[in-house]
Amino acid sequence: MAARQPRFNQAVLIDTTPLPESVPKVEEVGASSAPLMSASYFIGARCRAYNDDYMVCKTEAHGRGEFECMKEGRKVTRCAASVIDDITKNCLQEFRNHWECLEDNNQQLWQCRKWEWNLNGCVYQKLGLEKKIPGAPENETPVHLRRRQIYSQNENGVIT
C-alpha cells in the first residue's frame, strides 16, 4: 500500500499559442484508430510521396524538426483525410463493416478478413488503390489474400 495518496489534476492544458503563418492550416483527420487502421494501406498507397518527403525532412533534422517539417506533415494529414473521404463516399458500407469488426475484435486484422476482402475489392474497383504489404515476399500469397487463415475462430468462438 502506498504511503502517499494520489493526486489527480483535472485541468486540461491547451497551448493557445497560434502557429506561425508559414505553417499551412489543415483540419485534423477526425477518425479513431479503427477507421485509420482499416484505411491505412490505402493511405500508404496514395500518400507515399508525401510520407517520404516528411520522413526525409525528419531524418535531415536528426529526429527533431517539429516546426521545420510541419509543412510536410500537414500535406500528409491532408492526403490521409482525402483518402478517408474518398473511401466513405465510394465504399461506405464496406468501410464501416471492416472498421467496426476491427473495433469489436481488438483490432486484430486476421479476425476481419471477410470484411477486409469486400473493402479491398470496392476500393480497388472504385478508387484504383490496392493493398500491398511492404516487405512481403514476392513468391508467396500475401496474408490478406489467403483464403485459409492460419488463425481462425470456429463457430464456438474458440481460436484454433
- Whether this prediction's pTM lies above 0.75 is answered by no
For 114-145, the pLDDT digits (tens) are 898 899 999 999 999 888 777 777 887 766 66
Q: Note whether 112 and 119 are within 8 A (CB).
A: no
For residues 86 and 45, give the distance between their C-alpha atoms in angstroms, rounded to a whole number. 13
Tens of pLDDT along 14-40?
667 777 777 777 777 888 899 999 999
Please state, in angstroms and as integers, the Cα–Cα distance from residue 77 to each residue in 50, 71, 149, following that order: 9, 10, 33
Dihedral sign for Cα 119, 122, 127, 131, please.
Answer: positive
Helix axes 48-60, 70-90, angle to 10 degrees: 160
* Total residue count of the chain as it appears in this document: 160
